[in-house]
Amino acid sequence: MTSVLDLAPVVPVVVLDDAADAVPLARALVAGGLPAIEVTLRTPAALDAIRAIAEEVPQAVVGAGTVVSAAGVADAVAAGARFLVSPGWTGGLLDAMTASGLPFLPGVATASEVVALLERGIGEMKFFPAEAAGGTAYLKSLAGPLPGARFCPTGGISLASAPAYLALPNVGCVGGTWMLPPDALAARDWGRVEALAREAAGLR
């Protein structure tokens, strides 16, 4: 599979309470030009949502986010996830994600965490929580001493701030939720989600 960082400029970070919404939501995002979809394992509906998207929306590249344990890795793989994203990492979690055979983005917030991943041969990671952890200024300062690391910043990023992240040489894509406004999801306004996705897909 193409690197997760290169599938689209923006990876929607999805939290679903009802798995029945997964397929129409994924179809709207794909139609808008955002095929990589991170469904976070924060709700009881998450695994069923991943399974439904994997089975019914072949154009989507569905991944599991908020993966924080080896059990979560196993559940995500069984549901059909095609990539994994964690907010942080431990040695055990890293081993489980590596063993899964899927592409993964372990979360980092410090230079030491980046160095530790590079030491293990991992050069693609999630920078989280991006805005709270220093934003574009922090990532820019990492580019010189750590040129082998590429990031998907996630956490507090908006349509307005995304271009500044995407302009950085060490950023492949950003993660965000702004194309999934709660009122649009509550109303199941998939047309609005598609329009917002198309706007996000055009940021590159």
How much of the chain is helix, strand and coil, in % rounded to 5? 45, 15, 40
| AA letter at 10 | V
Report the run of H or E that residue 177 belongs to, with start and end.
Answer: none
Given 38, 55, 119, 194, the catalytic residue: 38
Phi, psi at 92, each rounded to 5°: -65, -45
Q: Is 126 a catalytic site residue?
A: yes
Given 56, 126, 131, 199, the catalytic residue: 126
Q: Is 38 a catalytic site residue?
A: yes
Q: In sequence order, which residues have a C-beta less than 8 Å from that of residue 119 and are 6 or more positions away?
A: none
The SS3 assignment for 117 reads helix
Q: Which of 111, 73, 123 is nearest to 93 (CA)?
A: 73
Active site residues: 38, 126
